[in-house]
Chain A
Amino acid sequence: MNQRRPPRPALRLDPRDNVLVARHDLTAGSAIPAEGITLAEAVPAAHKLVARPVAAGAPVLRGGVAIGLAARELAPGTLLCPGDLLPAAPPPARAAVPPAPLPAAGRATFQGFVRADGRVGTRNTIAVIVLVNCAATAARQAADWFDAERLAAFPNVDAVVPYIHETGCGMEATGEPMDLLRRTIAGTIRHPNTFGAVVLSLGCERNNLQAFLAAEKLAVGDRLQTVTIQEAGGIRATVETARAMVAAMLPAADRARRETVSAEHLVLGLQTAAPDGFTGISANPALGAAVDLLLRHGGTAILSETPDALLAGPALAERAATPEVAAALAERFGWWRDATRGRDTPLEGRLDRRHARAGLASVLEKALDGIGKAGTAPLAAACRYAEPVTARGLVFMDTPDDDPVSVTGQIAGGANLIAMTTGLGTGFGSQPAPTVKIAASGETFARLADDIDLDAGPVLDGALSAEAMGARIFEALLRHASGERTKGEVEGMGENEYVPWPIGVTG
């Protein structure tokens, strides 16, 4: 248990609120003097307790916003459960605040790899990537050969990374599933953090090599090589050929050097993993403040996790900067409603048990918490999964909530850094763009000190404002972009978390 109990037993987020958030595990009979209530039952940390009588049908307010309507009369001192709530309409939009840009000379900088097309890498890697699962073992054996010892002579190369996935054949030969897979793979190859790539194919797969290269306008050359197993004569020959190709790229890759560049070259993918009842109070608003700051410095942030974006309602949808962006968002939302109709997903309104156990009370609460990490700027663009992000500012990319799938799409779209908030904690990591993880509470940060980079707990405990924490996060992002390794990198995460969105029919 906690040796040092946080100062306040429960958090009041807004004077209008009729529920509070338990700061730590509270037992039945505990008093909350500031509210003049005594708990009728135990309330676990990060869960909500009723502070004032709520009539059946009345809004349950957290942070001044209705997260649901009371399903029955709720008495002060009781635990608020998802079953106590009926769906409430999402809150109206607040006007988006366009970021006030800083003059170019006053912008923050980081140390990045400037590539020929002007994009900037935060890491310098070589990819061994498969068009189909049938080449997976070959790719892993080829890439794993380049361990720290064999890369010692190439100090400017961060890693040789295998990108392995489960699909590429037995799938729809044309249409969005194949287009999506191809642009994900191509986006990974073209990523500014990928110096060069070796593409492995089997030879007979639906995701045919020549068709892939043509569709994605990729040209084979010094920095893009291909091996087809059926032509090379099998796995062993393929592994040897691929290793030789990587070895040939290493000297040139090692000549890349970091230089000082403007923060406007940062493309930050925003993520939440394993949220709890604290995430929306501390880590997400702090990351939102960091995003607002990044945008003022000319950078780009990508919000995703479409189920949350959709459920949040006008609070996100009405932030579209133009009618075109609004239409693109609406089209994606429509697709999701069709795709999930009759399926047991959060879009049907029932909260995941794991989220309920972590203190969240409704899908609306989780959704509003989720979009909090995107700050206050208008949406400059909305794109499909893994599409290249070319707009500057706050961009929406359609992805599922699922962390590896969502991050894979953001990185393929050009994100060169990921910022991931978490309530319960996660060990997630990604390649070729690293993930910076931010804990919502000091307890989670302390419990997972090997995995989590930043602690937003001081915001939860009132020791730091979200803005001050945002500034701290922004500085950390610049350091990690400049090469300081994240916890996920130190732990070797990322090779098993490459998961292109499996969107079609497996046949």
Chain B
Amino acid sequence: MPEGAMPTGSAPASATTADEPRNPFIRLDARDNVLVARLPVPAGTSVPSENTVTREDVPAGHKIAARWIAKGEKVLKYNTVIGYAAENLPPGTWMHSHNILFDAVEKDYAFGRDYVPTEYVPAAQRATFQGIVRADGRVGTRNYVGVFVLGNAGGTAARRIAGWFTTERLADFPMVDGVVPYVHGQGDAVERSGEPLALLHRTLAGTIRHANTAAALVIAAGSEVDNLHGFLRAQGIEPGPTLRTLVIGETGGVRRAVEAGTALVREMLPAANDVRRRPVSVEHLTIGMQCGGSDGFSGLSANPALGAAMDILIRHGGTAILSETGEIFGAEHTLTQRAVTPEVGRKLVERMEWWLRYADGRDTQINGRVSPGNNAGGLANILEKSLGGSKKGGNSPLMEVYRYAEQVTTHGLVFMDTPGYDPVSATGQIAGGANMIMFTTGRGSCFGSVPAPTIKLASNTPMYERMKSDMDINCGVIIDGESTVAAMGERIFAQLLRHASGERTRSELAGMGRDEFVPWPIGVLA
């Protein structure tokens, strides 16, 4: 059970004790001029380490000025610029979006300057997990039958076909984790050529071909912009015993399509069930990293702890995908500096420049303003959010940069260009081959995904306690002073191997993932 990995008998959230002996604030770097509140701190609280007193109430995860900050001076957190002081700010001032100005920061890309090759664990000593080895050598962590739609018009049929296969009806197929629908809103009036249609098709194809997809039924209504056979041909997908197709218009309507589709899935179940888990090296793990509903603690606990776990994974030969391009804006130089080659670093900058053009003049986070939940959680702007978000990538070198839903073939830390929006981003990572998703959250996102499951990591203990039934791992113990980033990294890695071996995650138990398949809607709908 996931509880096994939890700190049992952990101290209650520190917010309860007025005479808390620990400093209510955390200093992240000796050069910083802000501190982060560990818990809600009332005005007038003394901060002995800085020889100052809070001037206002400070919510948990928010910041105060550690010393006098002059108007226009850089605001430094983790010794990184997160904005500029809007006015002269005395020590103890609550520091947030109202007095931290968002503006351009100087970034030294220094492509590849700090690249250090990964020190791999010798092959014989690498960690293993119980995986499902497919004919092409790829390894699955789950074993699903997928019902896919080329366009939205097949949606209800797909959901009804998949819905027929209840736990009871799958009882004879214990190795099949489920029959799941992949329904989306696109496909009937998207742009007929170019990147929008290509992106949709490679997302669908990547999920159909995924190592966790044992068998697939692909449904078309017949009214899509491109036809089913053209799609399959272009993607190199061959119909066969584990890939069947259905065109609703040819079956005589929805009801008959549902009957025919249900029969096709039943035919595929014995083959899909004929798999066994066996120990395989973790080099076959590809982790899609996500953060959703971040707060001021995410960058202090869950994200760096996940980064530490991914550094371990990568030394064992595995792969970790960092994404959410707009949410590394301001911190991208920390990745380009450790890129394996200048070309890889430049690819990242090229993607970032595309985003700045794409979002020009739009009220999106790359232009500064983060979501209401992020803001309430203490993140002043996108620079601060990115600074925390990029910590998921640990310290490993950046080996490659991919477009949305492209097949990830390089091992190590790679980047995939996706929006920050969780369902869209995870859908692209999974289509690219991620066989597990690791999702950090401060506010408490409940995301779940198929066919690759999502493990959720809480950034703070109060939220973890409140949403225990949705969270797999509590990284708040780092904030509470009960664990360290390195120790949590070890613990996360160990729990990852259990989930990859089949232990259900919280979101799987809650039945999530059937409504969160969202290919990036990048084009114009006509």
Specify the chain A residue showing the minimal Cβ separation from B518. Answer: A166
Q: Report the interface size for chain A: residues with CB under 8 A from the other chain.
A: 79
Interface flag for B480 (CB, 8 Å): no
Candidate in B254, B326, B523 with the most chain A CB atoms within 10 angstroms: B254
Within 8 A of A (CB), among B158-213: 159-160, 183-185, 188-189, 191-194
Report the minimum CB–CB distance from A138 to chain B (whole Å). 8
CB neighbours of B443 from chain A (8 A): 202-204, 230
Interface flag for A37 (CB, 8 Å): no
Specify the chain A residue showing the minimal Cβ separation from B427. Answer: A166
- Contact A345:B358 (CB < 8 A) given known A173-B369, A493-B156: no
Q: Could you tell me the distance between the alpha carbons of A202 and B512 in the complex, rounded to whole angstroms?
A: 14
Interface of A is mostly: loop
Report the minimum CB–CB distance from B473 to chain A (whole Å). 15
Report the minimum CB–CB distance from B364 to chain A (whole Å). 3
Option from A167, A339, A427 in Cβ contact (under 8 Å) with B253: A427
- Contact A234:B524 (CB < 8 A) given known A140-B514, A166-B184: no
Q: Could you tell me the distance between the alpha carbons of A208 and B511 in the complex, rounded to whole angstroms?
A: 25
Contact B446 A202 (CB under 8 A): yes
Interface flag for A141 (CB, 8 Å): yes
Contact A344 B515 (CB under 8 A): no
Contact B444 A229 (CB under 8 A): yes
Option from B223, B358, B516 in Cβ contact (under 8 Å) with A136: B516
Contact A491 B254 (CB under 8 A): yes
Complex interface bits, A152-182 against B, C-beta within 8 A gives 1, otherwise 0: 0000000000001111011111110010000
A/B pair count, beta carbons within 8 Å: 245
Contact B359 A507 (CB under 8 A): yes
Interface flag for B227 (CB, 8 Å): yes
Contact B365 A345 (CB under 8 A): no
Contact B253 A450 (CB under 8 A): yes
Complex interface bits, A432-453 against B, C-beta within 8 A gives 1, otherwise 0: 0000000000000001111100
Interface flag for B249 (CB, 8 Å): yes
Option from B160, B513, B525 in Cβ contact (under 8 Å) with A492: B160
Interface flag for A425 (CB, 8 Å): yes
Task: Please choose the segment from B232-240, B261-269, B462-470 that sits at the chain A interface, where 4 or more of its residues have CB less than 8 A away.
Answer: B462-470
Q: Could you tell me the distance between the alpha carbons of A165 and B467 in the complex, rounded to whole angstroms?
A: 24
- Contact A507:B447 (CB < 8 A) given known A137-B515, A425-B249, A502-B185: no
Contact B374 A204 (CB under 8 A): yes
CB neighbours of A137 from chain B (8 A): 446, 448, 510-516
Q: Could you tell me the distance between the alpha carbons of A171 and B468 in the complex, rounded to whole angstroms?
A: 28
Specify the chain A residue showing the minimal Cβ separation from B295. Answer: A204
Contact A172 B363 (CB under 8 A): yes
Q: Could you tell me the distance between the alpha carbons of A493 and B156 in the complex, rounded to whole angstroms?
A: 6
Contact B521 A506 (CB under 8 A): yes
Interface flag for A404 (CB, 8 Å): yes
Contact A352 B445 (CB under 8 A): no
Within 8 A of A (CB), among B479-526: 510-516, 518, 520-526
Q: Report the interface size for chain B: residues with CB under 8 A from the other chain.
A: 82
- Contact A204:B376 (CB < 8 A) given known A229-B444, A502-B525: yes
CB neighbours of A274 from chain B (8 A): 221-223, 249
Interface flag for A273 (CB, 8 Å): yes
Option from A354, A401, A507 in Cβ contact (under 8 Å) with B362: A507
Contact A506 B366 (CB under 8 A): no
CB neighbours of B71 from chain A (8 A): none
Q: Could you tell me the distance between the alpha carbons of A129 and B192 in the complex, rounded to whole angstroms?
A: 31
Contact A202 B293 (CB under 8 A): yes
Q: Could you tell me the distance between the alpha carbons of A237 and B252 in the complex, rounded to whole angstroms?
A: 42
Interface flag for A63 (CB, 8 Å): no
Within 8 A of B (CB), among A344-362: 344-347, 350, 352-354
Q: Could you tell me the distance between the alpha carbons of A491 and B259 in the complex, rounded to whole angstroms?
A: 12
CB neighbours of A501 from chain B (8 A): 525
Contact B221 A427 (CB under 8 A): yes
Specify the chain B residue showing the minimal Cβ separation from A504. Answer: B362
Contact A496 B159 (CB under 8 A): yes
Report the minimum CB–CB distance from A83 to chain B (whole Å). 16
Complex interface bits, A262-297 against B, C-beta within 8 A gives 1, otherwise 0: 000000000001100000000000000000000000
Report the minimum CB–CB distance from A234 to chain B (whole Å). 4
Contact A235 B512 (CB under 8 A): yes
Contact A204 B377 (CB under 8 A): yes
Task: Please choose the segment from B9-17, B36-44, B89-97, B414-422 that sits at the chain A interface, where 4 or more of its residues have CB less than 8 A away.
Answer: B414-422
Q: Could you tell me the distance between the alpha carbons of A169 and B444 in the complex, rounded to whole angstroms?
A: 15
Q: Apart from A491-B156, A507-B326, what are 11 other A-B pairs with CB-CB below 8 Å?
A: A133-B516, A230-B463, A233-B466, A234-B444, A235-B446, A343-B194, A343-B524, A354-B225, A354-B227, A400-B525, A505-B359
Query: Could you write out 20 A-B pairs with CB less than 8 Å apart?
Result: A141-B511, A169-B422, A170-B421, A172-B363, A174-B363, A202-B293, A203-B293, A273-B223, A345-B524, A347-B526, A354-B223, A400-B525, A403-B153, A404-B153, A427-B248, A448-B253, A491-B156, A491-B253, A501-B525, A506-B424
Query: A residues near B, CB below 8 A?
Result: 133-134, 136-138, 140-141, 164-167, 169-175, 178, 202-206, 208, 211, 229-230, 233-237, 273-274, 307, 339-340, 343-347, 350, 352-354, 400-405, 424-429, 447-451, 491-497, 499, 501-507
Query: B residues near A, CB below 8 A?
Result: 152-153, 155-157, 159-160, 183-185, 188-189, 191-194, 221-227, 248-249, 252-257, 292-293, 326, 355, 358-359, 362-366, 369, 371-374, 376-377, 419-424, 443-448, 463, 466-470, 510-516, 518, 520-526
